[in-house]
Every structure is written in structure tokens, then in C-alpha cells.
Structure 1
Amino acid sequence: MTLLHLAPADLDRRGATHTAREIAHQPRVWSTVQALVQRQRAPLDAFLRPLLALPDLRIVLTGAGSSAFIGQCLAPALLQQLGARPGLRVEAIATTDIVSNPAQCLQPGVPTLLVSFARSGNSPESLAAVELADATVADCHHLAVTCAAEGTLARRLGDRDRARVLLLPDETHDRAFAMTSSFTGMLLAAAWAFEMALPPVEALGAAAQALLDAEADRLSALSDEGFDRLVVLGSNGLQGLAREAALKMLELTDGQWVALADSPLGFRHGPKTVLNDRTLVLMLLSNDSYTRRYDLDLLRELRRQGRGRVIALSTSALNADQALAADDVLLNLPANAPDLGLAPVALVFAQCLSLLASLKLGITPDNPSASGTVTRVVSGVTIHPLP
């Protein structure tokens, strides 16, 4: 397997074999994930449909780190899909917030579906959030989306009456430090489980593969240009994706790149001061025609001011008065694709950029934290008993 013109022997020598493979195999793995969800359709429907019919249901999408950002990508689109019902809520709340502030995150008298995203299912906060929800909420149900059959989360919820485990194929269980195929796999699995609108999986895979094939030279050139700051901007659910993209750069460069994520409108309110000549800005342009106006306003502003280099990722050429620049990235997806469909394809670009930046710095991407400051499964967390 080669990725971005990097040969297998070179990847192995530089400690990048797992990361590269797990980025590269995503277009194929997505089809496997969808087939798995389709096989699980009947039991998923039996579990989800009675809950989704509850007029006052609260859906909490949760996880820690990258897994929390999956919920942030999904929440706006899921709420829109389920429609305006006075008592219905869809919220993305990190397990790290639930564990430290259960009284402010959980509502005892409200029927709740806790959707937990977990690559390994062994993070202390993921396990504690489930137990706190059960202890606090009288009518609590669980959907766990995880990549590890042997993980504690899957084992604990596997035989509970009010729980369902959606176990992804083993290919999604990343062996590298950073979440890549596990992130996109869990994102898409949950979207398909809730029957959310997406382009066909063949179109998603083809767009990601076309990007991997066509953008190697551009990505390599960007990694050679001396940037050490990354800003990723996205609106609505794409803001969650922006946070994941920024985290990938921070993780894989062992903190040597400063990485920040925000919304296009929010970026003007202070965070814009991060821009300098060594800043690379990735703008994830929304396909929502109204939201896109605000995205384009900032894109024009940033290019006019000329601080840093700005690359837009878009599914279509822009209007004649704001054509895509030569180094913008055109995603091979329909111009009317929902933003949730843009997310996994656009993330492949950011993952590749982070991998190349890591290699450029002489870091081993499969295990980038030379000091051991961070670990693949978080450690050092004490779960304190409730008072």
C-alpha cells in the first residue's frame, strides 16, 4: 500500500505504517460499515423507533476527545431531521463534562437516549458517564457505537435490556495513536443507524479516493512551506469536524503546530489574532445556501487581508465573483449534499496534511508523543464517587 507517494518500507521506517493504512483504507471501510448497519437494521429499528416516538425524548451524543467531536458533527443534522417537537432535544455533551458535572448535564425526570462513541470503550470517562446516567436518569437508554468487541463499554452494555451496542468492523479499530478511520467509521455508522440523509456510500468512497489520488502533490507542498499554525473553520456540524481536524494536527505534530478550530462567524471575535505569515487556514464551506453566505464573507475577508494562506474545501465552484482559488480543494460530491456528507471526505484531507506535517518534523505518527504526555487510551483519570 502507498499513500501520498510514500512507499510501505518508508512508512514502516518512519513509524507511520498504521496511521497511513488507517487513513488510506477509509473509502473501502465505509462500505463495510454501511453493510454492517444494514444487517443490524431490524434490531436497531426495534430499539430506536419507540424511543424516537417519545415526544419529550432527550438524545445526548457523548464521547471524549475525538469521540466527543463525532457528536458535535451529528447533533445539528439529527435535530433537523427529527423535526420540531416541543419537548425533543438533541445535544452533544462530552463525557468529560458529564463526569465532572453530572447534575448540570443529566436530567433525572427526562427520558434520555445516551449515544456513546468510543474507539476502545476503555476510557474511564466513557464508562463513568454510562454509570452516572443510569444512576441519575430514571428512564435512561444507551446506544454504544464502538470499534472494540473486547472493550469494557461493549461488554457492560451488551446484555442490558435498555441498551444496544453497534459494534463496528475490526478495520475501524485504529492501531495508531490518532483516531482516523475509527472517527469516520463511527460518524457514518451513527448517521446510518438514525437513517440520516447522506450521499450514497459509493459516492463518499469515490470522493475520498479521488482526493487521496489527486491531492498528494498539493499536500506535500503544503507540508514543505514552513507553516506552524493551523486554523480550521466550519459552520454548524462542520464546526465539530473542524475541531477534530485541528486536534489531528496537534496530536500528530506532538504540539509543534498550534491548531485552533472555530466557526467562520466566531473567528472574528478574538481568535482571528492567531493569524500570521506561518498560518494555514482550512475553510470547510457549507452546502447550506444561507450558511454559505457567511462562510464566503469570511473567505473574502481573509484573502483580502492576506495574513496566512487560506484554502477552501468545497463541493462546487463558487459564484463567478468568488471563484475557487488555484489551490482550493474541490470535493467530488454533489453541490446539494448535506454538510454531514462533506464531513468524512473533508476530514481525509486534514488527516493527510497532519500525517505529512508529522513526518516533516521527524515525528513517528503511530506514536507521536515522545514524552508520553498523552496516551492512546487516556490514563491518570480518577473517578470520584458522587457526594
Structure 2
Amino acid sequence: MNTRLSTLPPDTGAEHTIAEIAQQPALWREVGRIVADGRGALDDFLRPLLAAPDARIVLTGAGTSGFAGDVLRTALGRHLGRRVDAVATTDIVSDPHGCFAEDVPTLLVSFARSGDSPESTAATALADRCLTRVSHLVITCNGEGRLAREHGGKPASHVLLMPPAANDQGFAMTSSFTCMLLAALLALGPGTVRDSLDGLAEGAEHITSGDLDPHIDTLLAREPERLVYLGSGSLKGLAGESALKLLELTGGAVTASADSPLGFRHGPKAVLTDRTAVVVYVSEDAYTRNYDLDIVTELRGALPPGSVVAIAARPDGLPQDGTWTVPVPAGTDDAAFALPAVLCAQLIALRASLSRGIRPDNPFPSGEVNRVVQGVTVHPLPAD
């Protein structure tokens, strides 16, 4: 943890959030050991599912857990050479027949910090009801949660449990998000992720060392009223999670949104004002990167100086001023790059919250938004 964060007075209401952002590199190494130690049983579970030529993989979760699926969807689809969809549990619960319209062999990968939100278990139950053949890979941070308990020991289920410290106690998901994202990449992605794990953790340690703090302070010094995150492919999912983090930790005081660089021009660009800041995650894919560089150039010409930030693994083609470089091993896929890159967004959200006198561990003290979703009634699905 960098000195400026670790010496914050204890009454800032950020103790959990600070610790959970800082602990991520160490937890990733622990996740690597967990997946490696359970590799045999995991492969025995996955092998017959992935052998089916018509198998569909559905990545599901709600809120931040749902964005994990958005980050992974295209990367896993390319690696596995099959259909991979990211479908939020909230969509499955409200429209199960639409989400499972094709009765094909399905692996439902459920991401859940607590596993106690109503939609988490409802989504798996609805998949069982709508599909003839479905298996469940549950990736969760809470072994005592309802989702883990209901699927533990079932022959058609495999529970991949994250380190206990990943069950974030702060309001917003930080280390829980990255640990579950990493676990899925290690379980279903290419072996290069395992090989580059130490390098990814070192990239995150570069961010938590405090080197970016002056740049974050410069971005926030203008007190932007709106902040837009942009990214292509896997990085669009990262943009969505980044915007959500800012909304959560500032209690909605800063309006945040997300889009792709190409999609942003089709209407959402109307959000831009002189009090808007934009963060662009720059892809490592040579073709996709062209579109990210285009939007950086365009927006730097349209907004006041210091309003546009590019976050990239390498500075090639980017202006020196306003580019934040996240060091990662050469050849890192965008989905893996998202692991250390999201720490930039977490720190932006944390510092934006503290600058406004908000307590990040509980930015909604009146309880209108809760750490674990409340107030959801799961209605029974009528018989076919």
C-alpha cells in the first residue's frame, strides 16, 4: 500500500476499501495456487463439457460480478473456439426462456462475491429447469454463501472458492472482482495467463505503490461532474466496471458511464461538457488499438487539457501527457490486462469519494443501496 493511503486518518471510513485494493497482488498469487492445486478435479469436471461440439458457455453474475463475464466473453470465445455469452443473472431471472432459448449443453459459470443475492441461486435453478443438460462452475468468495452451499457436492457442479480475504467487507467489490476474474481465466483460458501471473501482480504493485497518485490527483483536481470510461472488446467490460465503481464509491455524486470508442459517437457522446473527464483503456490488439487511438486524439482536441486519460500497457502511438502506463508482460491479452488496469479505476473512485467527504466503506449510510442486494422478490416460473 502506498504511504499516502496507509496514513489516512482512521475516521475516513475507507479502511476496508483501502486494504482490499492493496491486497490484490498477493491474493492473485494465492488464487494461482488454489487453481493449480485443484487442477485435476477441475479438468475432470470441464473436459466432457468442453468436448461437446455444440456446448455453450454462459458467464453470469450481477453488477460487478456481471462485468467479470463481459471482460471474459470474447477472450474465452477466441481461446475455446466456441460460443461464450455473458448474460447477467438479473436478465436470466426476469427472462429465463429468452436467455436459454436454445436447449444445448450449457456450462453456466456463476460469479458471486457473497453468493447470497436472490438472483445468484435463482439463475442456477432456472437454468436447471429450462435446459436439458446444464453444469455449473461456481466461482465465489464465500464458502458459507447460499450459492456455494447449494452446489457443493453436486455431480453437475464444481465450486471454485476464492481466498477468504477476497470476500470484500467494503461496500464495493474490488479484490473479489479481480480474484474471480483471474480464477476464470486460469480455469478456462490459455496457459499464458498462468505463466504471466507474477508479471500481472507486479503491474498491480506498480499502481498501488503510489506512482499514479499525482496523475489521479491531477485528473480529479478539475472536479469533473461526469466521467466516461471507454474500451473495446474485453476492455468495454472493464469500462463498465470502472464506471460502476465510481458511482458506488461516490454515492452517485459523480455521474459515470461507459461505452466502446466506436459506440460512444452514436449518441452517448452527448454527455460531454467542459466538466467531463474521459478515460480510455487502450487495447493490445493491433487492429482494435487503432480505434482506441482515434478516440483519444478526437477527444483531446474537443475537451480542455487534462480531461482525457489513456491507460495502456505500452505508450506506442499515444501522447506522453495524459497516458498512464500499466507494466505487464509482453503479449498480455486484454482480459488479463484488465486485472491490473482496474486498480486505476478503483483508486480514482476511492480518491474521488474521499475528496467529497464520503465514506467509501459505506457510501450509502441511509441504506438505499446495500452491499448485498435486498428487496428482490423472485417470482415462481409458471409451469410449461
TM-score range, shorter chain: over 0.9
Q: 1:231 aligned to 2:228?
A: yes
Do the aligned partners of 1:30 and 1:205 also contact (CA within 8 Å) in 2? Answer: yes
RMSD: 1.4
TM-score (norm 1): 0.95
Alignment correspondent of 2:327: 332
Whether 1:218 and 2:215 are equivalent positions in the alignment is yes
Aligned to 2:200, which of 204, 219, 229? 204
Name the SS for the 2:32 alignment partner.
helix
Query: After superposition, what is the alpha-carbon deviation per residue over 1:313-352, rounded to whole angstroms, capped at 9, x for unaligned?
Result: 0111223xxx423231011124532111210111001000
Shift of 1:157: 0.2
Tell me by how many angstroms 1:252 deviates.
0.5
1:118 is the counterpart of 2:112:
yes
Measure, in 2, the Cα distance between the counterparts of 1:368 and 1:102. Answer: 33
- Give SS of 1:68's match: helix
Matches within 5 A, 1:285-300: 285-300=282-297
**Aligned counterparts of 1:130 and 1:259: Cα–Cα separation in 2:** 31
Equivalent of residue 88 in structure 2, options 79, 83, 94: 94
Q: Which amino acid aligns with 1:357?
A: A
1:361 matches 2:353:
no
> Unaligned 5+ residue runs, structure 1?
none
Amino acid at match of 1:216: D
Asked if 2 retains the 8 angstrom alpha-carbon contact of 1:147 and 1:168, the reply is yes
For 1:66, the equivalent position in structure 2 comes to 64
Task: Quote the offset at 1:9 in angstroms.
Answer: 5.4
Q: Give, as a single letter, the amino acid of the residue that structure 1 aligns with 2:206.
A: A
1:247 to 235, 241, 244: 244
CA deviation string 1:67-95 (max 9, x = no partner): 00000100100000012xxxx42100000
Looking at structure 1, the residues matched to 94 and 334 of structure 2 have their Cα atoms a distance apart, in angstroms, of: 32
Partner of residue 44, structure 1: 42
Aligned to 1:76: 74
Contact 1:276 1:307 in 2 (8 A): no
> 1:304 Cα shift?
1.6
| TM-score normalised per structure 2 | 0.96
Greater than 4 Å deviation, 4+ residue runs = none
In the alignment, the residues of structure 1 paired with residue 3 and residue 223 of structure 2 have an alpha-carbon distance, to the nearest angstrom, of 19
Count matched residues.
378
Q: Distance in 2 between matches of 1:190 and 1:336?
A: 19
CA distance in 1, matches of 2:150, 2:127: 14
Q: 1:109 to 1:306 in 2, by over 3 A?
A: closer
- State the partner residue of 1:129: 123
Cα distance in 1 for partners of 2:298, 2:149 equals 51
CA distance in 2, matches of 1:3, 1:95: 36
Alignment correspondent of 1:350: 345
- Report the CA distance between 1:371 and its aligned residue: 2.8
Classify the secondary structure of the residue corresponding to 1:260.
strand
Residue 157 (structure 2) pairs with residue 163 (structure 1): yes
Cα offsets for 1:217-257 (capped at 9, x unmatched) = 22233333211211000001110110000000000000010
- C-alpha deviations, 1:180-213, integer Å up to 9, x for none? 0000000000100113343611101111111222
**What secondary structure is seen at the aligned counterpart in 2 of 1:131?**
helix
Secondary structure, in 3 states, of the residue corresponding to 2:138?
strand
Cα 1:4–1:223 change in 2 (3 A) is farther
How much has 1:8 moved relative to structure 2? 4.4
Q: Is the contact between residue 241 and residue 343 of structure 1 (CA under 8 Å) also seen in structure 2?
A: yes
List aligned pairs for 1:301-340, cutoff 5 A: 301-306=298-303, 309-319=307-317, 323-340=318-335
Cα distance in structure 1, aligned partners of 2:137 and 2:314: 35
Partner of 2:260: 263
1:4-57, Cα deviation, whole Å (9 max, x unpaired):
6133451x2110000000001111111011110000100000000111110000
CA contact 1:4–1:216 (8 Å) conserved in 2: no
SS, match of residue 75 in structure 1: helix
Identity of aligned residues (%): 50
Pick from 324, 333, 341 the counterpart of residue 336 of structure 2. 341
Code of the aligned partner of 1:261? A
Inter-partner Cα distance in structure 2 for 1:66 and 1:331: 22
Identify the residue that residue 147 of structure 1 maps to in structure 2: 141
For 1:25, give the aligned amino acid. Q
Paired amino acid for 1:161? P
Contact in 2 for aligned 1:287/1:335 (Cα 8 Å) = no
